[in-house]
Chain A
Amino acid sequence: MPQQFTATFIEREEALPRNAIVRLAAPRAVVDAAAPGQFVMLHQGLAAGRDPLLPRPFSIMRATRARGAGEPDSLELLVFTGGRGAGRLVEARPGEPFAALGPLGSGYQLGGRVSRALLLAVGHGIAPIVALAEAALARGVAVTMLVGANSADQLLPLPYLPTDAEIAVATADGSRGHHGAVTDLVPEYLEWADGIYAYAPEPVYVALREALRAYRGARTLPPVQVAIERGMACGVGVCLGCVVQTKGGLKTVCRDGPVFPLEQVVLD
């Protein structure tokens, strides 16, 4: 069950240019309930002004119980610093409160039969993909992470990534790893993976779908789950501002998603 709570700013770490990892204190019930692919809606509260008016969705990268006495239970988010709402979050001072709602949405389903998971992330999608990688590794699932970016400086540095995952990188400018699209790396894992999980802009999913269609091997292809993003006002399925077209009709990204089976979503 999602709940309304106050998330208190603890600290920020500039993990990447124009992106910061933000750590917020949160109630234990929220931290314990958070599952990979779920998100929180965050707002400074109307008391702090009306700009922006609406809360913003952010994926949960890590939900951690306090490590020692006097430490808070916390949520870690990876936040792009350019926007208005996110900017306020990143510039907050320790102790500053944010009105929060979460954990929200339906996240990745890591079925019991999955033993080799292929994860694919572009942009801030690395945040929920890290969450999924850590949950999968904790269950003994082998994990390969494919991470794409325009250039090497936009890749989340290794210390922030799970050490037990195999990581392969692609950059558009060739400054690290494969020179090209991250989806170019997918074919060589299609015989290996028994589950594929992605968080990236939609054009990447179109390329991913092409890569799967091009497969000529004998194996039944693994199921693919992808996360969709839409602007959100409520985060709980009442405003219908976040709908996505699926083969089963219009669905809310905030409640039915953000994670959907790739074959279900209508990509344009």
Chain B
Amino acid sequence: MIAKYPPIWARWDVPVIVNLAGDTVGEFAEMAAMLDEVQGVAGVELNVSCPNVEAGGMFFGCDPGLAAEVTAAVRAATTLPVIVKLTPNVTDVAAVARAVADAGADALSLINTLLGLAIDVRRRRPVLGNVTGGLSGPAVKPVALRMVYQVAAAVDVPIIGLGGITGLDDALEFLMAGASAVQVGTATFADLGMVTRIIDDLAAWLAREGLTSVREIVGVANAGRGARGAE
């Protein structure tokens, strides 16, 4: 993988961040170390929405202690920027966010998919072979926004907001809630041009509003963020 793809990424004029998923803390650290100083890799994002085999299948991202442990291990293993991607399947997302920020994360991204389930009424069985699956797209946007808002008020590291973004207005909501950048997942399946369109529309919007930088709107709708004086 490392021999094949990074040389291709190095030729692109956008930075490429590699999303990592592992079964153990050691695996995360090992992968991060392998990617360190590889041309074409701009950073790593840790997908902690997966079960920790060594901790009885407890999800890394559902426990502040485990999330901090994997963050610290990766931090020590690489000089690359480390983004930790938070799961929404928790009661207190701010607590996990504070733990990973304190453990050395350079940025946080949220949210990953919400655990969902659908039943095929005709077959009287769950639709998915795996029974549950990740819910994404427009349905999760209000949950994602609420969590970005809470986390932005709780930590000082930059936040990448995502979950259900399908156009400029959604992106603006995330920025105003406190995200410094956004990602688009599901909507890309509906329209491969989604990301470039949002970028163009955002530039046009900023010009219309007489603004020079996205920074000027980051967190403007977030009372908690303002109180901390971040950004």
| Contacting pair B190 A54 (CB below 8 A) | yes
Q: Does B167 contact A (CB under 8 A)?
A: yes
| Contacting pair A55 B189 (CB below 8 A) | yes
| Contacting pair B166 A50 (CB below 8 A) | yes
Q: Does A175 contact B (CB under 8 A)?
A: no
A16-45 CB contact bits vs B (8 Å, 1 = yes)?
000000000000000000000000000101
Size of chain A's interface in residues, with CB distance under 8 A? 13
Indicate whether A54 sits within 8 Å of B189 (C-beta atoms), given known contacts A46-B166, A46-B167.
Answer: yes
| Contacting pair B138 A50 (CB below 8 A) | yes
| Contacting pair B190 A46 (CB below 8 A) | yes
Q: Which of B166, B189, B194 contacts A239 (CB 8 A)?
A: B189
A231-266 CB contact bits vs B (8 Å, 1 = yes)?
001100001000000000000000000000000000
Residue of B nearest to A99 (CB): B191
CB contacts under 8 Å to A, within B118-167, are 137-138, 166-167
Residue of A nearest to B139 (CB): A53
Q: Does B8 contact A (CB under 8 A)?
A: no
Name, among B137, B186, B189, the residue most crowded by chain A CB atoms within 10 Å (CB to CB).
B189
Name, among B186, B187, B191, the residue most crowded by chain A CB atoms within 10 Å (CB to CB).
B191
Shortest Cβ distance from residue A158 to the other chain B in the assembled complex, whole angstroms:
33
Shortest Cβ distance from residue B193 to the other chain A in the assembled complex, whole angstroms:
7
Q: Does B192 contact A (CB under 8 A)?
A: yes
Residues of A with C-beta under 8 A to B137: 53
Residues of A with C-beta under 8 A to B186: 53-54, 233
Shortest Cβ distance from residue A101 to the other chain B in the assembled complex, whole angstroms:
7
Residue of A nearest to B166 (CB): A46
Shortest Cβ distance from residue A179 to the other chain B in the assembled complex, whole angstroms:
27
Residues of B with C-beta under 8 A to A99: 190-191
Residue of B nearest to A45 (CB): B191
| Contacting pair B138 A53 (CB below 8 A) | yes
B175-198 CB contact bits vs A (8 Å, 1 = yes)?
000000000001101111110000
Residues of B with C-beta under 8 A to A45: 191
Residues of A with C-beta under 8 A to B194: 46
Name, among A46, A54, A99, the residue most crowded by chain B CB atoms within 10 Å (CB to CB).
A46
**A55 CA to B192 CA, complexed, in Å:** 11
**A99 CA to B194 CA, complexed, in Å:** 12
Shortest Cβ distance from residue B84 to the other chain A in the assembled complex, whole angstroms:
23
**A50 CA to B140 CA, complexed, in Å:** 14
Residue of B nearest to A268 (CB): B129
CB contacts under 8 Å to B, within A79-103, are 99, 101
Residue of B nearest to A238 (CB): B189
**A129 CA to B194 CA, complexed, in Å:** 34
**A4 CA to B189 CA, complexed, in Å:** 12
**A265 CA to B187 CA, complexed, in Å:** 31
Residues of A with C-beta under 8 A to B192: 4, 101
| Contacting pair A43 B138 (CB below 8 A) | no
| Contacting pair A46 B193 (CB below 8 A) | no
Shortest Cβ distance from residue A49 to the other chain B in the assembled complex, whole angstroms:
11
| Contacting pair A53 B190 (CB below 8 A) | yes
**A233 CA to B193 CA, complexed, in Å:** 15
**A234 CA to B187 CA, complexed, in Å:** 10
Residues of A with C-beta under 8 A to B166: 46, 50
**A233 CA to B167 CA, complexed, in Å:** 18
Residue of A nearest to B185 (CB): A239
Residues of B with C-beta under 8 A to A234: 189
Shortest Cβ distance from residue A205 to the other chain B in the assembled complex, whole angstroms:
18
| Contacting pair A46 B191 (CB below 8 A) | yes
Shortest Cβ distance from residue B113 to the other chain A in the assembled complex, whole angstroms:
12
| Contacting pair B193 A55 (CB below 8 A) | no
Residues of B with C-beta under 8 A to A50: 138, 166
Listed by A's residue number, 24 A-B pairs whose Cβ atoms lie within 8 Å are A4-B192, A4-B193, A43-B190, A43-B191, A45-B191, A46-B167, A46-B187, A46-B191, A46-B194, A50-B138, A53-B137, A53-B138, A53-B186, A53-B187, A53-B190, A54-B186, A54-B189, A54-B190, A55-B189, A99-B191, A101-B192, A233-B189, A234-B189, A239-B189
Q: What is B's interface to A at a CB cutoff of 8 Å?
A: 137-138, 166-167, 186-187, 189-194
Task: Contacts A50-B166, A233-B189 known; list 6 others, CB within 8 Å.
Answer: A43-B191, A45-B191, A46-B167, A53-B186, A99-B190, A234-B189
Q: What is A's interface to B at a CB cutoff of 8 Å?
A: 4, 43, 45-46, 50, 53-55, 99, 101, 233-234, 239
